[in-house]
Amino acid sequence: MGRRSRRRSREQGAEPAMPEAPTAEYRSADGSVLALRCVLSPKTRAQYAKTFQGNVLSQEDAWHRALEFLFERLALSWTINDVETSGQGDLLARLRASSREERDFVRVSIRAHCAEWFPDVKAP
């Protein structure tokens, strides 16, 4: 099948739509809602394992980098005080500017999420 034929097939709706990956929502006591995707590719899992391997980072630095890594890959949206933040760059910036309580909520949510959906991944 040539390129034009594939394009015509897509334009005519011949290809089935990709199924949506499942998501999970976590709510804090103050009403914040964190939506996380429930799929983690094998390549991402391998990259995550490398965050703990280098001697360059201290244990605490590796822990913070691991949390940011998982947040960056899993977070879909984060609603705080009825203001929704989405998009990978905006979410990461919001995490870095978060208060200690908000960061603790994210850490606890990611731990619970990994325990349920990715038992082989050791969350920070």
To the question of domain 22-117 being in CATH 3.90.1690, the answer is no
pLDDT tens across the length of the chain (124 residues): 566 665 665 566 555 555 677 999 999 999 999 999 999 999 999 888 887 776 566 777 778 889 999 999 999 999 999 999 999 999 999 999 999 999 999 999 999 999 999 998 888 8
Which stretches of the chain are DSSP H helices? 3-11, 42-50, 59-74, 88-96, 100-117
Burial degree of 71 (CB within 10 A; 0-12, 13-18, 19+): buried
Of 37, 30, 22, 36, the residue nearest 83 (C-alpha): 30
Domain ranges of the chain: 22-117
Alpha-carbon gap, residue 26 to 38, rounded angstroms: 12
